[in-house]
Structures are given as structure tokens and as C-alpha cells.
Amino acid sequence: MAHRVTGVLIFFFLFVHVLDTALVRVSPEAYDKVVATYKTPVVNLMEYGLVAAILFHALNGLRVIAVDFWSKGPRYQKQMLWSVVGIWVVLMAGAFYPVLQHSLRTLFGS
């Protein structure tokens, strides 16, 4: 279920990204306003969520491929799921400061 949810979230991000990028041709001033909102801590937190969704979706996709194409995949799918979750948690912990450093500095000072 999480694989499908992250896939839908990534799709909606891509849809919004295409729309906001297309806005530059219609109204550069409106585009500048939209880009300015992207520099807020709330949007930065949403970017961290996007990183989380993409990373989980990618790692779990590899697990799904292994389950489908590896003869022993179905037997080890539970262990592979916990491995994916463990790797995801470690990588998300490592991405915390690099992704959120702008917001952390804005909220708490440098």
C-alpha cells in the first residue's frame, strides 16, 4: 500500500512541478511569487517528505522486482521489506540536515 501511496504522491508533485514551471511563460511575476513560497520552512519540510517518498518508492520497487523475478523472492519478501525500511530510515536520517538546513537556520539561527 505504501508503494502505491508514494507513487501517487510523486505523480502529483511532478504534475505541480510541470504547472509551476510552465507558469514562467504565462507570467514571470507570478512564477517569481510561486518560487518565493518554495523558500518557506513549510515547503522545505514538504521537500523532505518528497525525498522520503521517492526514496521509499525506489527501494521498495527494487524489493518488488526481487519478489517477482527472483525464484526465492516470495520466501524472503518479509525480510526484504524490513531491510528496505531499515535502509530507508538510515538514509532519511542522513538526509535530514542536508535537506532541512535552510529551514533550521531560518528558524533557529546559524
Among the listed residues 35, 15, 38, 17, the one whose alpha carbon sits nearest the alpha carbon of residue 27: 35
**What phi and psi, each to the nearest 5 degrees, are found at residue 65?**
-60, -45
Residue 102 labelled as part of a binding site: no
Query: Measured at the alpha carbon of residue 47, what is the angle toward residues 42 and 48, in degrees to the nearest 5?
Result: 100
Torsion sign (Cα): 72, 78, 79, 85: positive
- Per the CB < 8 A criterion, the answer to whether 102 and 44 are in contact is yes
Residue ranges of the annotated binding site for heme are 57
Residue ranges at the known binding site: 57
